[in-house]
Chain A
Amino acid sequence: AQKITQTQPGMFVQEKEAVTLDCTYDTSDPSYGLFWYKQPSSGEMIFLIYQGSYDQQNATEGRYSLNFQKARKSANLVISASQLGDSAMYFCAMRENSNDYKLSFGAGTTVTVRA
């Protein structure tokens, strides 16, 4: 079964607007962490933001925020005030306490920011 589902293969967003990338996950482990990574065309994976399953507040890092809805098992990434440099592929990933050190990744969403 797919642990991480990203249903949006690609998205277009206008510069300076906000964009929401969807991520749903599947786990029966009460203790887990959720990550978002950015992969520009150069190929490197850049860590953006982390949310722990016991965290009471939604995580924020600069223009990135994570809309964590635990009951719905969703962890959407919101990018505010999009910039041309935000054009990249974005991956949602999960690490479960019961699954040692492994991250499970979604298929990714390609974001293209238009001027």
Chain B
Amino acid sequence: DVKVTQSSRYLVKRTGEKVFLECVQDMDHENMFWYRQDPGLGLRLIYFSYDVKMKEKGDIPEGYSVSREKKERFSLILESASTNQTSMYLCASSQSGIGTGGGSYGYTFGSGTRLTVV
């Protein structure tokens, strides 16, 4: 069964810590994404990557960085965690290419990491 695996389900970190969230996919997908999910706001895109070592800012990149050294792995880094970064973080991957009508290439999501910064 194809999968997107996030390394931690729950994480508690202290303010100011450097935090790494890891995501691995086994589908050979070109594209990988990091979203955060907050009540009433849905999912908001933090960063995405369409190739190894390539990255693009999403809608809310401030306070985050990413790393993609290998195709299957996409890491989200909180350089100095703050309490307003307490959230659910979802990683996803998708095939590249756009098909007819925007493409039927939806995302495959990981199970999420619930991060609490205290």
Contact = CB atoms under 8 A, between A and B. Distances in A.
Interface of A: 4, 6, 9, 29, 31-35, 37, 42-45, 47, 50-55, 91, 93-97, 100-108
A44 B112 contact: yes
B115 to A, nearest CB: 13
B101 A55 contact: yes
Closest 9 CB pairs of A and B: A52-B101, A33-B102, A45-B109, A32-B102, A105-B43, A54-B101, A105-B42, A43-B112, A107-B42
B104 interface: yes
Contact of B104 (A29, A37, A50, A101): A50
Interface of B: 31, 33, 35, 40-45, 48, 50, 56, 58, 88, 90, 92, 94, 96, 98-112, 114
**Most chain B beta carbons < 10 A, residue from A6, A44, A91, A101:** A101
B94 to A, nearest CB: 6
Contact of A54 (B98, B100, B111): B100
21 contacts: A29-B102, A31-B100, A31-B101, A32-B101, A33-B102, A33-B103, A43-B111, A44-B111, A45-B92, A47-B107, A52-B99, A52-B102, A52-B103, A52-B104, A53-B102, A55-B101, A101-B50, A103-B33, A103-B43, A103-B106, A103-B107
B102 A9 contact: no
A52 B100 contact: yes
B102 A95 contact: yes
B102 A101 contact: no
Nearest to A55: B101
A96 B45 contact: no
B5 to A, nearest CB: 11
B23 to A, nearest CB: 13
B66 to A, nearest CB: 14
B40 A33 contact: no
Contacts of A9: 40
**Most chain A beta carbons < 10 A, residue from B42, B88, B94:** B42
A107 B94 contact: no
Contacts of B56: 100
B106 to A, nearest CB: 5
A108 B42 CA distance: 6
